[in-house]
């Protein structure tokens, strides 16, 4: 019997680190000094994000770990991890296109037809297509299986009718990864399907929702008898729950939000470290420890993925780490940075262009978005053999 020999290694290789440095240098030069990500920058930021994504695509720096046949370079999944870390640490210049690499592409590779792959994947690799994830509805949040948006089979396609809410980038996306009910008699998780919906189709209406979270962050999408061709179906008809859950598992484990936290910790230290007494430093050092543990849990997920697994439970644990780390940072910022954490970027008094404030303000959403803390905890509880009414 063949046995595999595991070579434990807690470091990136020298070549990988060299690549990180090259990428970091590129981002440093290419992004404006006050770049805060498209949630803060508005329309200008969105245009810049599009330009940068095209450049990244030309360099092959979006989808390195994808198979060459799908526009990738068959590179190590760890190089992809470095890409993710550097982008997040630089306030995610890809905007919505981070999702393309994280979960959309993997879901298309996993469930897509040859036509899907041929049409979409090269565009994702080139950095020229923006997507939205259309799951939540007014009456289906955590309880996603309660969703009502219907897609009634009709000839060679489906007629979609329904209302999606809280959709990030819904105002600017080209396409929507839409979870809807294709069997009108079905209940809960049965009878659902995923449709890849062109948002320029007649009958689609987008409405941005005003919020404290920034531009493009949350939107409503209305589908008023939108005819979607059958070719838009991803995965088996009426088995969309499985498709969506697989996509979500990719989503939870693919985002290197922790890298932005590492940078924010450094920013706080840079500005205020000299003022801290020993007790504060103890608190800060403990935060660094939690942040390192968080990185490692994310690396554990990647190690699992490398073997071809879809690590659902580990991904939930990683997601919890990432979001609670952001909130721990926000608490620390409140206690240690004076007014820095509360002055908005556009204000003359903003520090580091309001980066800390933006982190602090958004930290409260960290445990809600992409599957709440409670939902992730429920997934882990289930894996530990704990059932019951939730």
Partner 1 sequence: MNVELPDATVEFAAVVARALMADDAPDGAGLFGVLDEMGVLDLAGSESADPDNAQLNAVVVLDEIARAGKRAPVAETIWARSRGIDTGRGFVAVASEARMAHDRLVPYGRFALSLLSGTCDAPVPIDLPADVRPARIEIDHDHLWLPPTTPAPALAQLDQAFAWRAASAATVGAMARATDLAIAHAHQRVQFGRPLASFQALQFRLVECHWRLLGLRLLVREAGWRADRNDGRADVVSALAWLYARDVGRIVTKHTHQIFGAIGFTREMGLTTVTGSAATLRALYPARDAAAVVRAGRAWVDDAPPSTILGGFLTDHQAVPA
Name residue 234's beta-bridge partners. Answer: 194
Contacting residue, 273, 275, 339, 347, with partner 1 by CB under 8 A: 273
Q: Does 384 bind partner 1 (CB under 8 A)?
A: yes
Chosen from ligand FAD, partner 1, none, partner binding at 263 (C-beta under 5 to 8 Å by type): partner 1
For the bound state, the minimum distance from the C-beta of residue 29 to ligand FAD, rounded and expressed in Å, comes to 30
Q: Does 161 bind partner 1 (CB under 8 A)?
A: no
Q: Does 88 bind partner 1 (CB under 8 A)?
A: yes
For the bound state, the minimum distance from the C-beta of residue 161 to partner 1, rounded and expressed in Å, comes to 35
Q: Which of 97, 176, 192 is nearest to 140 (CA)?
A: 192
Q: Does 251 bind partner 1 (CB under 8 A)?
A: no
Would you state the structure tokens that stand for residue 203, as one six-digit string?
A: 């009958």
Q: What string of DSSP letters covers 51-77? A: HHHHHHHHTT-SSTTS-GGGTS----H
Options 15-23, 36-44, 162-170, 323-331: segment touching ligand FAD (CB under 6 A) = 162-170
Contacting residue, 59, 188, 230, 292, with partner 1 by CB under 8 A: 292
Would you state the structure tokens that stand for residue 185, as one six-digit string?
A: 């008699």
For the bound state, the minimum distance from the C-beta of residue 154 to partner 1, rounded and expressed in Å, comes to 42
Q: Report whether 103 contacts 254 (CB < 8 A).
A: yes
Count, residues near partner 1 per rule CB under 8 A: 69
Q: Does 5 bind partner 1 (CB under 8 A)?
A: yes
Q: How far apart are CA 305 and CA 289, in angstroms?
A: 24
Would you state the structure tokens that stand for residue 191, as one six-digit string?
A: 């009878």
| Residue with tokens 């589908």, as numbered in its chain | 223
Q: How far apart are CA 5 and CA 271, in angstroms?
A: 45
Q: Report whether 270 contacts 138 (CB < 8 A).
A: no
Contacting residue, 16, 73, 76, 142, with ligand FAD by CB under 6 A: 142
Options 51-59, 102-110, 293-301, 329-337: segment touching partner 1 (CB under 8 A) = 293-301
| Residue with tokens 């565009």, as numbered in its chain | 123
Measured CA to CA in angstroms, residue 131 lies from 170, 175, 300 at distances of 8, 5, 28
Burial class for 372, CB neighbours closer than 10 Å (0-12, 13-18, 19+) = middle
Helix axes 240-254, 278-306, angle to 10 degrees: 140
Quick one: 202 or 385, whose CB is closer to partner 1?
Answer: 385
Q: Does 317 bind partner 1 (CB under 8 A)?
A: yes
Contacting residue, 197, 199, 265, 350, with partner 1 by CB under 8 A: 265
β-pairing, 204-208 vs 219-229, is: antiparallel
Q: Does 20 bind ligand FAD (CB under 6 A)?
A: no
Contacting residue, 239, 269, 272, 364, with partner 1 by CB under 8 A: 269
Q: Which residues bind ligand FAD (CB under 6 A)?
A: 132-136, 141-142, 166-168, 213, 217-218, 365, 368-369, 372, 374-375, 390
Q: Which residues bind partner 1 (CB under 8 A)?
A: 3-13, 16, 20, 24, 28, 78, 81, 85-86, 88-90, 259, 262-267, 269-270, 273, 278, 281-282, 284-286, 288-297, 299-300, 302-303, 306, 314, 317, 320-321, 374, 377-378, 380-381, 384-390
């Amino acid at each position: 019997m063949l046995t595999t020999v595991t070579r434990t290694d807690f470091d990136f290789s020298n070549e990988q680190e060299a690549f990180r440095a090259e990428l970091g240098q590129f981002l440093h030069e290419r992004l404006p000094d006050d770049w805060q990500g498209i949630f803060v920058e508005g329309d200008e930021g969105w245009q810049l994000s599009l330009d940068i994504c095209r450049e990244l695509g030309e360099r092959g720096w979006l989808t390195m770990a994808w198979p060459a046949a799908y526009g990738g370079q068959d590179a190590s999944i760890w190089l992809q991890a470095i890409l993710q870390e550097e982008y997040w640490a630089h306030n995610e210049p890809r905007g919505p296109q981070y999702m393309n690499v994280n979960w959309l592409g993997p879901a298309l590779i996993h469930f897509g037809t040859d036509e899907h792959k041929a049409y979409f994947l090269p565009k994702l690799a080139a950095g020229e297509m923006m997507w939205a994830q259309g799951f939540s509805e007014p009456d289906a949040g955590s309880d996603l299986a309660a969703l009502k948006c219907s897609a009634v089979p009709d000839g060679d396609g489906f007629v979609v009718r329904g209302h999606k809410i809280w959709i990030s980038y819904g105002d600017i996306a080209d396409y929507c990864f839409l979870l809807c009910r294709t069997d009108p008699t079905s209940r809960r998780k049965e009878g659902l399907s995923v449709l890849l919906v062109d948002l320029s189709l007649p009958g689609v209406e987008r409405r941005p929702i005003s919020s404290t979270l920034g531009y493009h962050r949350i939107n409503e999408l209305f589908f008023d008898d939108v005819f979607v061709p059958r070719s838009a179906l991803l995965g088996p008809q009426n088995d969309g729950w499985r498709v969506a859950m697989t996509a979500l598992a990719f989503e939870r484990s693919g985002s290197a939000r922790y890298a932005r936290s590492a940078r924010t910790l450094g920013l706080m230290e840079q500005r205020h470290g000299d003022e801290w007494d020993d007790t504060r430093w103890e608190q800060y050092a403990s935060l660094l420890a939690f942040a390192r543990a968080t990185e490692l849990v994310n690396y554990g997920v990647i190690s699992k993925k490398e073997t071809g697994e879809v690590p659902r439970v580990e991904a939930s644990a990683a997601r919890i780490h990432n979001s609670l780390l952001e909130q721990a940072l926000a608490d620390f910022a409140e206690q240690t940075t004076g007014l820095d954490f509360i002055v908005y970027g556009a204000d003359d008094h903003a520090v580091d262009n309001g980066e800390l404030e933006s982190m602090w303000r958004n930290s409260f959403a960290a445990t809600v978005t992409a599957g709440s803390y409670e939902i992730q905890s429920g997934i882990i509880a289930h894996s530990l053999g704990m059932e019951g009414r939730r």
